[in-house]
Amino acid sequence: MKYTALIVAAGSGTRMKLGYNKVYALMRDGRTILNHTMDIFRADKDCIQIVVVTEALTFYQNMEGSWPGMITIAKGGKTRQESVKNGLQAVLADYVMVHDGARPYLDEKSLKRIKKALKENDAVLLSVPCKDTIKKIDEDGYIEMTYDRSTLCAAQTPQAFRTELLTECMRRAEEAGFTGTDDCSLVEAFSDTRVKTVEGSYANIKITTPEDM
């Protein structure tokens, strides 16, 4: 099963306090966060294309290496959802994995689990069980209820889909003026497709502060 990796890398990274897009920050080995994020897809024979949603000139100025025919650049949008929509227009494969540009610690075992699940499902979510107790609070800050932690998970990326499904759900969301909290939420809201969860890794964090480096 061949797929496109759609890497969303158009954010400003305000919390990193860098003054530039955090995906171009250098990690300890002197390579950018984005380079590390792309590595696992570049090495996977099933990945036929990488669509990076980012500013083209900045990508050119900060990324070393040449990947003829594999890398496509798409323009970022005003929101993450709009950025994913822009990226989808460049996707060539029947399946797409949407991944955060600042999430460079994806491991091969997690990727293999996603690909295995995608053979039998049109939507797959990489996730980990919630470690903390989650409580719902009211507008005044008082607890309304405590959720059963055994039924909760924390969503990660990649989130993988049949490309046609995500594209159609994106279209319906735009018509409805709906903004989802992640890509799976669009499929949940605008299709009858059930999203399959697969085990991720607690190490697969999204870099948001300098400490995460």
Residue 131 pLDDT more than 90? yes
Helices first, then strands: H and E counts in the chain? 6, 9
Q: Which residues make Cβ contacts (< 8 Å) with residue 62, sequence separation at least 6?
A: 24, 32, 34
Q: Which residues make Cβ contacts (< 8 Å) with residue 112, sequence separation at least 6?
A: none
The pLDDT assigned to 208 comes to 81
- With CA atoms as reference, report the closest residue to 200 among 110, 113, 83, 78: 110
What is the CATH number for 180? 3.90.550.10
pTM: predicted TM-score of the whole model, two decimal places:
0.92
Q: How many domains does the chain have?
A: 1
The pLDDT assigned to 119 comes to 96
What span, in angstroms and rounded, lies between the C-alpha atoms of 129 and 108?
Answer: 19
Residue 99 pLDDT more than 80? yes
The pLDDT assigned to 17 comes to 56
- Domain containing residue 197: 3-212
Rounded percentage of the chain residues whose pLDDT exceeds 90: 85
What span, in angstroms and rounded, lies between the C-alpha atoms of 135 and 148?
Answer: 9
Q: What is the mean pLDDT of residues 12-17?
A: 57
Q: What is the mean pLDDT of residues 106-122?
A: 98
User: Which residues, in sequence order, are bridge partners of residue 52?
Assistant: 7, 73
What is the per-residue pLDDT across 19-72, written as a single tens digit (0 to 9) for each? 768 999 999 899 999 999 999 999 999 999 999 999 999 999 888 776 767 999
